[in-house]
Chain A
Amino acid sequence: MRDFLLKLGNIDRRVIYGIIAIGVIIPLLRPIGLPENITPPVKHLYDYIDSLPKGSVIILSIDYDATVLPEVHPMVLAVLRHAMVRGIKPIGLGLNPAGTGLGLDAFSKVGKELGKKYGIDFVYLGFKPNVSATILGLGEDIRKVFPTDYFGTPIDSIPMLKNVRNYNDIALTISFSGSSLPENWIMYANARYGEKIACGVTAVMAADFYPYLQTGQLIGMIAGLKGAAEYETLVNRLFRRLGLKKPSVIAIRGMDANSLAHVLIMIFIILGNLAYFSSKRGRKE
């Protein structure tokens, strides 16, 4: 047994790579469809958006890039579907240059899917480079920060933004990010202007945002692919209730693979420890 464990300790990294690849591919091809439990931070955000009056304006800040696309993009799509189907008007903007095209893709896709009109039901403003200046500027006058939308149309000629001046006219801002960027929204938009903030972050960052949830500086949070799958579940239920066609569920489809990969990683850690403690070095220590 000890010999076996020692051999395991010297296993080639490519074998581990192969096991992980197979562990992810099989459940993707043959999903089991394990049920999704909804965690409180996701439920709070969903309920908040659901409770907003029709015609309310919210900001979706696309602060991520393609490096975290599989985790965060499904969140944006799910929140956009929820908002648009409820008659809430989203403004898209971004503080990460590499995310600009992703936001454009998400807004155009969901807008088309639900038959919404650009400039009336949703608008996409694009990117601005200075994080603090942009967030603070939106608290003063949106026209100063974004004189035009992403396509170069002057803000004043966009009907949806006629009565939108600053955070007083924006019910909620959600920052989607793979970094600590949502903290800037909390520091500048919430602390200074009292804007309600929520975030959709990668799982890597999620644990760091819990202090803000407890103080209410964040009204909700979608964390990682699991959070995206939870939001998709809630949106699917809403679509079913409204008799609409169920949208694609990319995050939910990935969760079985996530479950199996987690189990594999845990097995790797246990085996790695067993191999280590069987070795001379491990026993010495």
Chain B
Amino acid sequence: MLQRTIPLVIVFVMGILTTLQFYIPHPISQEFYRTTIDWMNGISSMAIILAIGSLIKHHWTKVSRGQNVVYSTTTLVSLAFMALIGFIGGIGQHSLFQKLFENVQIPLQATMFSLLAFFMASAAYRAFRAKTFEATLLLLAAFIVMIGMIPLGYYISPGISQFSQWILDVPNMAAKRGIMIGVGLGMISTSLKIILGIERNWLGG
């Protein structure tokens, strides 16, 4: 009962009510709608407990087992330090918290993702082969968009940029719209399956 029935009832009731209220502009329906969206932000905020708790548990277990002690300790200490700095000194523009964000978190995160430029260049060299008609078509479209989107393409001939824009506006748009409509239908059917209790994977084991 507590394990499966109540969660399924909550999903069903909330799902049906929030869907129906879209079509029923009654004051009670509106009040329910406002209260629900107000609560959603509060409940979602508290999900951070789950994320941070799991992270601490994972690294704590590693430290206590003597695995990767230095690295896991780095994570735990930096987590505690950053958290304390924010709770003690605040999170304003001139706080130490913001300084650490700008000068530790940003460079690490941004540089981590900048590595992708190198991996993509390597992949471009090794993986993008015009083996079939479809692959050739893909590469041709990619080449035109690549050259058309950079200033060099426009400098060589404005026509290249115009053709590239046409690819984006017409065939690309049609393809993406087809996918979008398909995904939209998928979203609706998945939502309905969740609300009606047909899809229960979220309940876990």
The reply on B121 being an interface residue by CB < 8 A is yes
The reply on A36 being an interface residue by CB < 8 A is yes
Decide yes or no: A210 and B146 within 8 Å by CB, A69-B106, A272-B129 being known contacts.
Answer: no
Q: Give CA–CA (A260, B150) in the complex, Å.
A: 9
B40 contacts which chain A residues (CB < 8 A)? Answer: 130, 132-133
Distance of B39 from chain A, by nearest CB (Å): 8
B196 contacts which chain A residues (CB < 8 A)? Answer: none
Q: Give CA–CA (A269, B121) in the complex, Å.
A: 9
A210 contacts which chain B residues (CB < 8 A)? Answer: 168-169, 172-173, 176
Distance of A111 from chain B, by nearest CB (Å): 10
The reply on B78 being an interface residue by CB < 8 A is no
B45 contacts which chain A residues (CB < 8 A)? Answer: 129
Question: Do residues B130 and A16 form an inter-chain contact, with CB atoms below 8 A?
Answer: no
Q: Give CA–CA (A25, B156) in the complex, Å.
A: 23
The reply on B70 being an interface residue by CB < 8 A is no
The reply on A119 being an interface residue by CB < 8 A is no
The reply on B1 being an interface residue by CB < 8 A is no
The reply on B76 being an interface residue by CB < 8 A is no
Interface size for A (C-beta < 8 A) is 69
In chain B, residues 119-163, which have Cβ atoms closer than 8 Å to a Cβ of chain A? Answer: 120-122, 124-131, 139, 143, 146-147, 149-152, 154-155, 158, 161
Question: Do residues A151 and B121 form an inter-chain contact, with CB atoms below 8 A?
Answer: no
The reply on A114 being an interface residue by CB < 8 A is no
The reply on B72 being an interface residue by CB < 8 A is no
Question: Do residues B38 and A144 form an inter-chain contact, with CB atoms below 8 A?
Answer: yes
Decide yes or no: A37 and B38 within 8 Å by CB, A65-B109, A133-B44 being known contacts.
Answer: no
A98 contacts which chain B residues (CB < 8 A)? Answer: 105, 109
Interface size for B (C-beta < 8 A) is 59
Question: Do residues B110 and A137 form an inter-chain contact, with CB atoms below 8 A?
Answer: no
Within 8 Å by CB of B110, from A66, A151, A203, lies A66
Within 8 Å by CB of B41, from A39, A101, A128, lies A128
Q: Give CA–CA (A222, B11) in the complex, Å.
A: 38
A276 contacts which chain B residues (CB < 8 A)? Answer: 129
The reply on B93 being an interface residue by CB < 8 A is yes
Within 8 Å by CB of A20, from B93, B112, B121, lies B121
Q: Give CA–CA (A151, B154) in the complex, Å.
A: 45
B107-118 interface bits toward A, Cβ cutoff 8 Å, 1 = contact, 0 = none: 001101110011
Decide yes or no: A145 and B98 within 8 Å by CB, A266-B147, A272-B124, A272-B125 being known contacts.
Answer: no
Within 8 Å by CB of B34, from A21, A141, A226, lies A141
Question: Do residues A37 and B161 form an inter-chain contact, with CB atoms below 8 A?
Answer: yes
Q: Give CA–CA (A10, B51) in the complex, Å.
A: 43
Question: Do residues A144 and B34 form an inter-chain contact, with CB atoms below 8 A?
Answer: yes
B128 contacts which chain A residues (CB < 8 A)? Answer: 269, 272-273
Distance of B82 from chain A, by nearest CB (Å): 12
Known: A134-B41, A226-B151. 6 other contacts (CB 8 A): A16-B121, A66-B110, A69-B109, A132-B40, A140-B34, A211-B180
Residue contacts A-B, CB under 8 angstroms, 21 given: A17-B118, A35-B155, A66-B109, A67-B109, A67-B110, A68-B113, A129-B44, A133-B37, A144-B34, A145-B37, A145-B38, A150-B91, A211-B173, A258-B151, A265-B121, A266-B143, A268-B121, A269-B139, A272-B125, A273-B130, A285-B131
A residues sitting closer than 8 Å to B (CB atoms) are 11, 13, 16-17, 19-21, 24, 34-37, 39-40, 65-70, 98, 101-102, 104-105, 108, 128-130, 132-134, 136-137, 140-141, 144-145, 150-151, 192, 203, 207-208, 210-211, 214, 224, 226, 229, 255-256, 258-266, 268-269, 271-273, 276, 282, 285
